[in-house]
Amino acid sequence: MKELHTCELCGASLPTGQLYHFDGQELCAQCLDNHTLFCSYCGERIWESDNAGTTDTPLCQDCFDDHYVRCCRCGALVRETGAYYEESDEFDERPYCLDCFHTLSRDKPIHDYYYKPEPIFQGEGPRFFGVELELDQGGEDPDSARALLDIANAGYPLMYIKHDGSLDDGLELVTHPLSLDWQLHAMPWEDVCRKALSLGYRSHRASTCGLHIHVSRAAFGPTQQEQDQAIARVLYFFEKHWEELLKFSRRTQRQLERWAARYGYKEHPMDILDFAKKGYHGGRYTCVNLQNLDTVEFRMFRGTLKTNTILATLELIDHICDAAVHLSDDELKGMAWTTFVSGCQQPELVQYLKERRLYVNEPVESEEEA
């Protein structure tokens, strides 16, 4: 009888001759194919999670560092010899692809995709919320951007605007880290949404747009261990209540598979977190993106210019975080959706849950999303 050995990724038992040695691990053919690829420049096999290039042009880190850059505006992969630079960029620190270089315009209120200003925190922490709201169909127009910024930042510096290459003809609104109270009552969402609609922008009606919410990692506990335990419960909540959250998100299953994939249900919360940390699934395009150093990003929700929906989504995330922080694993596992929503009291969230028929079977008439 042939001696069997175990694939170190999937656990399959196979004869030694059917396993492949890679990076100190024994892998079956399927795992080798699913989780590794070849650098398109030097031909070296690498882990898929270590791909420094793109899906079409996979690269090991050394080849990327030696021969490629990313456009500082759209993030596109560019051969170092084919990058463009502004004359004022004395040390060639801000490379552009050809398309972005041609459309580059000075004095624009729309920042590059990779723009990350020093965060301006408003409100009481440690739980801060940063909103990224994508708008499309209204153009990447500096005058429109200025009009939106004038409204959002009339009292305090609350928002900035970025280019987003995933949109057809739009832009991305990004708030600084605000407490829930500031997001609900200080950020002028109603006026911003009304102005955006008047300028021709759409979000829900544009299939390209998402509503992403960042929550500070510090909100999940003072230590790394406490943060991991709470974040694991967040992941478990999303997996257990996936169908309800899918309905809440207004996304289609296909959209989520592309932009906000699930990790897959496992019996214990930490098992889901351990799987997520291995980096073999979706990268940042997951329902709960854990790749940011200081925040956890909730990517599941479709964009909208309906103010109540934005506020309700923030309130939902706040309630999920509360449950993850304050409940034990067993308590969270035993909590039904009806029990969870019965504790939701904010009028915006209750209204939206009823609109989506997710609140104890109490439907209500609703306005159309925009």
133 with 264, same domain: the answer is yes
67 contacts 47 by C-beta, under 8 angstroms: no
Q: Could you report how far apart the first and last alpha carbons of the chain are, in Å? A: 65
Q: What is the DSSP string of 194-212?
A: HHHHHTT-BSSSSTT-EEE
**Alpha-carbon gap, residue 357 to 82, rounded angstroms:** 53
**What is the predicted pLDDT for the residue at 90?**
83
Residue 275 lies inside a defined structural domain of this protein: yes
135 contacts 208 by C-beta, under 8 angstroms: no
**What is the predicted pLDDT for the residue at 105?**
46
Whole-prediction pTM: 0.73
**What is the predicted pLDDT for the residue at 48?**
92
**pLDDT classification of 79: cutoffs 50, 70, 90:** very high
145 with 62, same domain: the answer is no
Give pLDDT tens digits for 303-331. Answer: 999 999 999 999 999 999 999 999 999 99
49 contacts 280 by C-beta, under 8 angstroms: yes
Q: Is the pLDDT of residue 113 over 90?
A: no
Q: How far is CA 184 from CA 17, 121, 131, 253, in A?
A: 61, 15, 12, 29
**Alpha-carbon gap, residue 123 to 173, rounded angstroms:** 20
72 with 134, same domain: the answer is no
Give pLDDT tens digits for 157-186. Answer: 999 999 998 999 999 999 999 999 999 999
Last residue of a domain, one of 89, 104, 119: 104
201 with 65, same domain: the answer is no
**Residue 81 is part of which domain span?**
39-104
3-state class percentages of the chain: helix first, strand second, coil last, to nearest 5 = 40, 20, 45
Residue 15: count other Cβ atoms within 10 Å of its Cβ.
Answer: 11
Name the nearest CA neighbour of 370 among 136, 166, 184.
Answer: 136
Domain count, the chain: 3
Residue 363 lies inside a defined structural domain of this protein: no
